[in-house]
Amino acid sequence: MKAVRTDRELECPGIDAGLRARGVEFVTLPDGIPEAELMAAVADVDLILMCYTPITARVIEAARNLKGIVKYGVGIDAIDIQAAMRRGIPVVNVPEYAEETVAEGAFALMIALAKRLPAITAAVSRDGWIWPEQRWLGRDIAGATLGLVGCGKIGRSMARMAGQGFRARVLGFDPGVDAATMQEAGIEKVDDLKAMLGGCDFISVHCVLNDETRGLIGRQELACMKSSAILINVSRGALIDEAALVEAIVAGRIAGAGLDVYSLEPLARSGHPMSALFDRDNVILFPHLTFFTQEAMRRLEDDTLARCFEVLEGRPVTVRSHDPRLRAQATGIEFR
């Protein structure tokens, strides 16, 4: 058996060692590999593991022996699932390894900006000390209003931390989650996104990216926010109109942003649509690492190996995700 893992910059020693221990001929490839080179690399593989690299229809067609595609992570936007289905090749992700972890990351970004940690630590590093002047005033989360755009498992974990942990009021916009489910999680359901945004001190985005949610937070939505609002996004960069967000931050129309995801990754200090946000003490630019903890990576590696072995041994592949794109598969799949 032969397998290829793309995006080797994301170190997964447990996955690599586990496959090699089973006697799998195993190759890792770099992020950003050109499509033609990837097509050549997968020509005789049984299994593709991917994280960020696009697995296009051309790549799938080039892989003559392909038996499965495993996304070692959650998002499946970079996989042409329809092309895989046409060949009866199962596609699976690992949806549950970092739900609490990513919620913790979002909360960390929020509280860091609320307490002015980037600004204050930078000033102390530069000057050795600062005094309690008005410009260093932080804000409490207790008594504030947090708005969640998306109230799935990660959003509901965020709600618990802010509501039960810090006594914040939590509002939620998510047409796919009913009011009773939200209420059980301590969230007040709101049906009007713009109205919710206008009443929030903090906004945290927790949506799946699809045709309906792309650009969900656009120029008009940003204009609805308070000038004191802080925006957090740990989901997908394209959920937000990033050019409009840069304008809003630079112009001071919102107070700050904590970002872990971007439409174009990796970031760059120059020549990138988000470059203007570097070196701003009211912005945290995190390199898509809110998932990256010891505990979450252990879960990711264990679940990924389990799915790989299912593929390589010809067993039905366990799909735990409720994403309709994965649930539409009918070949070689077992739903849980």
Provide the residue-wise pLDDT of the chain in tens; the chain has 336 residues. Answer: 999 999 999 999 999 999 999 999 999 999 999 999 999 999 999 999 999 999 999 999 999 999 999 999 998 999 999 999 999 999 999 999 999 999 999 999 999 999 999 999 999 999 999 999 999 999 999 999 999 999 999 999 999 999 999 999 999 999 999 999 999 999 999 999 999 999 999 999 999 898 999 999 999 999 999 999 999 999 999 999 999 999 999 999 999 999 999 999 999 999 999 999 999 999 999 999 999 999 999 999 999 999 999 999 999 999 999 999 999 999 999 999
Quick one: pLDDT at residue 232?
Answer: 99
Give the chain's length: 336
236 is catalytic: yes
Using only C-alpha atoms, what is the Rg of the chain?
21
CA distances from residue 274 to 59, 108, 176, 242, 295 in whole angstroms, order as listed = 30, 21, 31, 7, 31
What is the predicted pLDDT for the residue at 272? Answer: 97
Bridge partners, 101 (sequence order) = none
The CA-CA-CA angle for residues 9, 11, 16, to 5°, reads: 115
Out of 265, 272, 299, 325, which one is annotated catalytic?
265
* Known catalytic residue at 61: no
Identify the pLDDT of residue 243.
98
Q: What's the pLDDT at 141?
A: 98
CA distance linking residue 152 with residue 159, whole number of Å: 10
State the pLDDT at residue 258.
Answer: 98
What span, in angstroms and rounded, lies between the C-alpha atoms of 294 and 32?
26
**Rounded CA gap, 223 and 249, in Å?**
11
Choice among 280, 288, 299, 320 that is catalytic: 288
With beta carbons less than 8 A apart as the criterion, state whether 220 and 193 touch. no
Alpha carbon distance 155, 314 (integer Å): 36
Q: Coil, strand or helix: which one is 90?
A: coil
pTM of the model: 0.92
Note the pLDDT of residue 245: 98
Among this protein's residues, is 322 annotated catalytic? Answer: no
Of the residues 236, 301, 307, 310, only one is catalytic, namely 236
